[in-house]
Amino acid sequence: MKFRTAYAAVAALTLTISACAPPTDKDAEEAAAAADQQALELQKAQEELAKAQADAAAKQAELDEAKARQEEAEAEAKAKQERAAAAARRQREAERAASASRSQSQPSYSAPAPAPAPVCQDCGTVASINEVRAKGQGSGLGAIAGAVAGGVIGHQFGGGRGKDLATAAGAIGGGVAGHQIERSARASTYYEVGVRMDNGGYQTVKVDSAAGLAVGTPVRVDGNNLQLR
């Protein structure tokens, strides 16, 4: 009987202590969980931004490498054409020398050789055509617009200090992307046309369009323009 009475007293004391204990702060736990989730989202956004920048850099490296290979091939083709032209000139000189030797061996009453036709100093033949894409210059508006857009997007992530960091990261990434987009939009394309002149010289003319031009096309150089012959 005494044992049951003591047990009842202990149970009552335990219930009293439990009733006096402060309640759990669920709001604080939910706030902490939300902050952790926002931090994870910010980290994910930063990782995606870094990956996009790395992919863009890799793509640019591939383009630069392809352009270098193309320039090397064009330079090699140009060198071959120059060697072929030099060989043709030597052959013509040898033929002229042989013709002159035959003329000298003929009787004096033979008709004189006709005078060579005058050489057109502005005439030539297209030897190479290189497309050049010039990068545009940024005015700063693209970077500003990108920074504003990136800051707005970054401001949607995080809270407190995390929100400030997300806004700053978004503004920086958006500014860089906006600047690159503006430069690409302002890029221009022109063509460097190499002309093997009839007088033995070589000229390079920059034109906006290569329409109607191909290697071997006879042209006339008129200042910074080319006219088909």
Expressed in percent and rounded to 5, the helix, strand and coil fractions of the chain are 60, 15, 25
pLDDT of residue 33: 86
Amino acid, single-letter form, for residue 146: G
pLDDT of residue 17: 46
Q: What are the structural domain ranges in the chain? A: 43-100, 122-135+189-229, 137-186
Cα–Cα dist 3/11, whole Å = 12
Cα–Cα dist 132/185, whole Å = 16
**How many residues would you count in the chain?**
229
Give the sheet arrangement for strand 202-207, strand by strand. Answer: 202-207, 188-197, 123-134, 218-222, 225-228
Amino acid, single-letter form, for residue 152: V
SS3 188: strand
pLDDT of residue 104: 72
Nearest to 50 by CA among 212, 187, 169: 169
- The rounded average pLDDT for each run of 10 residues, N- to C-terminus, in the chain (229 residues) is 46 48 68 87 89 90 91 90 90 87 65 71 93 66 50 51 51 54 65 92 90 91 87
Cα–Cα dist 15/37, whole Å = 37
Residue pair 147/175 in contact (Cβ under 8 Å)? The answer is: yes
Fold classification of 122-135+189-229 (topology level): OB fold (Dihydrolipoamide Acetyltransferase, E2P) (2.40.50)
Cα–Cα dist 18/135, whole Å = 74
Phi, psi for 74 (deg, rounded to 5): -65, -40
For 120, which DSSP code?
A: P
Q: Look up the pTM and report it.
A: 0.33
pLDDT of residue 133: 80
pLDDT of residue 142: 47
